[in-house]
């Protein structure tokens, strides 16, 4: 088996459909012949198991972090989606909603030992450090947003925080560079260097090699965009506009790979506590087939 492709799925705003896209995209990847692992990294509000039609699993990340289970794979459980497993977040353990550095690192290192063709890491809402850390740890990421301006703004914030977190993590122990980078996230400095390219140009004077390292890290990102709750063709233009803004201000390519229509059936499937993965709706299946084809073509 080749190296798994590990993809974080985030989007800033709560309720835009990150977990819905994660659960259904996994099922679509399985339909296309791939094995899938799900990781619920929404540590404070884990509910991916519900989206997969499961009750809370008996083993979760909590049992791994407490040392009850030595390997991360030991807390993986089967899901109703064939050829897939789930590692559930530790929802009810509030102290783990904000894990410390060592705990985070233990999870991130553990994820790299797991086996599946695709591993989907469902992130929590917001742009907190834990979310940005998980975004920055893996080159592949899908940003999910609906088409409302507020959601798109939060999606931009999610990407920006994640990218800066990734750049800062490139220089452990280098307080000088970390301080410079942090300054650029403040609104005041933002005005002097509104784009990441401006920032690189300014930093290059002081630290050209480090800027080169940052540029390489950015170029190794494979960032994808999925629009959710799309109600009409005209909303798809929001995606194009957004990828243009990300390219201009964050100097990174965000590839639009498809959309999911708004359909009440998705909500209803959650209520029935059957698999919330929608299998019998042709329109939904077509959306996920298109997303899957684009993802598979662009991910490697
Ligand atoms: N395309 C859609 N059409 C209709 N309802 C949808 C669609 N996508 C998601 N929903 C509904 O929106 C709600 C939020 O979805 P979901 O839990 O996937 O969002 P989330 O981004 O993971 O939220 P959180 O930030 O709380 O983790 C759910 O009730 C879900 O059924
Ligand atoms: Mg969620």
Task: Kindly report, residue by residue over 157-205, the tens digit of the pLDDT.
Answer: 999 999 999 999 999 999 999 999 998 888 776 677 789 999 999 999 9
Q: How many CB atoms lie within 10 A of CB 272?
A: 9
How far is C-alpha 96 from the chain's CA centre? 19
Q: Please determine, for residue 127, whether its predicted confidence score (pLDDT) is greater than 70.
A: yes
Q: What is the mean pLDDT of residues 20-30?
A: 96
Q: How far is CA 19 from CA 125, 145, 164, in A?
A: 10, 12, 24
90 — phi, psi (to 5°)?
Answer: -105, 55
Least confident segment among 97-106, 255-264, 285-294: 97-106
Q: For residues 92, 95, 97 and 102, what is the CA-based torsion angle, rounded to 10 degrees?
A: -130
Ligand 2 mean position to 297 CA, how many Å? 26
Q: So what's the pLDDT on residue 272?
A: 66
Question: What residue owns the CA closest to ligand 1's atom 14?
Answer: 15
CA 144, CA 130: separation in Å to the nearest integer? 18
CA 121, CA 125: separation in Å to the nearest integer? 13
Ligand 2 mean position to 204 CA, how many Å? 39
Q: So what's the pLDDT on residue 189?
A: 67
Q: Please determine, for residue 91, whether its predicted confidence score (pLDDT) is greater than 70.
A: no
Q: How many CB atoms lie within 10 A of CB 5?
A: 20
88 — phi, psi (to 5°)?
Answer: -85, 150
Show the 3-state SS of 179-194. Answer: HHHHHCCCHHHHHHCC
Question: What residue owns the CA closest to ligand 1's atom 16?
Answer: 17
Q: Is 27 left (phi over 0), alpha (psi -120 to 50) or beta?
A: alpha
36 — phi, psi (to 5°)?
Answer: -135, 140
The separation between the first and the last C-alpha atoms of the chain, rounded to the nearest angstrom, is: 14
What does the pLDDT look like over 262-286, one tens digit per residue?
Answer: 999 888 877 665 555 677 788 999 9
CA 47, CA 88: separation in Å to the nearest integer? 8
Three-point CA angle 47, 293, 43, nearest 5°: 20
For the CA of 16, the closest atom of ligand 1 is 21
Domain boundaries, the chain: 5-170+223-299
* Residue list, CB under 5 A from ion ligand 2: 18-19
Specify the DSSP element, H or E, that contains 9.
strand 5-10
For the CA of 284, the closest atom of ligand 1 is 1
Q: Which of 56, 113, 119, 53 is nearest to 85 (CA)?
A: 119
Q: What is the mean pLDDT of residues 8-14?
A: 94
Q: How far is CA 196 from CA 169, 262, 273, in A?
A: 17, 34, 45
CA 300, CA 95: separation in Å to the nearest integer? 37
CA 42, CA 23: separation in Å to the nearest integer? 14
Q: Which of 62, 58, 63, 28 is nearest to 44 (CA)?
A: 62
For the CA of 260, the closest atom of ligand 1 is 1
Under a CB-based contact definition with an 8 Å cutoff, are residues 235 and 262 in contact?
A: no
**Fold held by 5-170+223-299:** Rossmann fold (3.40.50)
Q: What is the mean pLDDT of residues 131-143?
A: 97
Under a CB-based contact definition with an 8 Å cutoff, are residues 146 and 231 in contact?
A: no
Under a CB-based contact definition with an 8 Å cutoff, are residues 104 and 61 in contact?
A: no
Higher-confidence residue of 279 and 53: namely 53
Residues with CB under 6 A from ligand 1: 14-20, 42, 45, 125, 228-229, 260, 262-263, 266-267, 270
Q: Please determine, for residue 93, whether its predicted confidence score (pLDDT) is greater than 70.
A: no
Under a CB-based contact definition with an 8 Å cutoff, are residues 132 and 161 in contact?
A: yes
Q: So what's the pLDDT on residue 12?
A: 86
């Amino acid at each position: 088996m080749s190296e798994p492709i590990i993809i974080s799925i985030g989007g800033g705003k709560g309720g835009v459909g990150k977990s819905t896209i994660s659960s259904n995209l996994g099922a679509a990847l399985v339909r296309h012949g791939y094995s899938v692992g799900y990781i619920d990294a929404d540590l404070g509000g884990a509910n991916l198991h519900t989206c997969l039609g499961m009750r809370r699993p008996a083993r979760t990340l909590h049992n791994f972090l407490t040392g009850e289970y030595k390997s991360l794979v030991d807390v993986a459980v089967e899901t109703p989606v064939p050829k897939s497993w789930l590692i559930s977040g530790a929802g009810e353990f509030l102290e783990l909603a904000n894990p410390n550095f060592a705990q985070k690192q233990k999870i991130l290192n553990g994820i790299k030992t797991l086996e599946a063709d695709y591993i989907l890491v469902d992130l929590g809402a917001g742009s907190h450090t834990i979310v940005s850390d998980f975004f920055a740890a893996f080159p592949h990421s899908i940003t999910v947003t609906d088409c409302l301006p507020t959601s798109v703004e939060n999606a931009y914030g999610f990407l920006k925080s994640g990218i800066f977190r990734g750049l800062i993590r490139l220089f452990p122990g280098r307080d000088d560079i970390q301080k410079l980078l942090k300054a650029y996230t403040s609104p005041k400095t933002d005005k002097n260097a509104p784009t990441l390219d401006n920032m690189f140009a300014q930093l290059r004077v002081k630290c050209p090699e480090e800027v080169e390292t940052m540029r390489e890290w950015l170029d190794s990102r494979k960032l994808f965009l999925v629009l959710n709750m799309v109600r009409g063709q005209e909303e798809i233009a929001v995606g194009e506009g957004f990828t243009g803004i990300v390219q201009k201000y964050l100097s990174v390519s965000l590839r639009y790979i498809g959309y999911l229509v708004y359909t009440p059936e998705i909500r209803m499937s959650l209520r029935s506590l059957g698999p919330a993965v929608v299998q019998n709706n042709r329109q939904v299946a077509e959306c996920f087939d298109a997303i899957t084809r684009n993802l598979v073509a662009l991910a490697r």
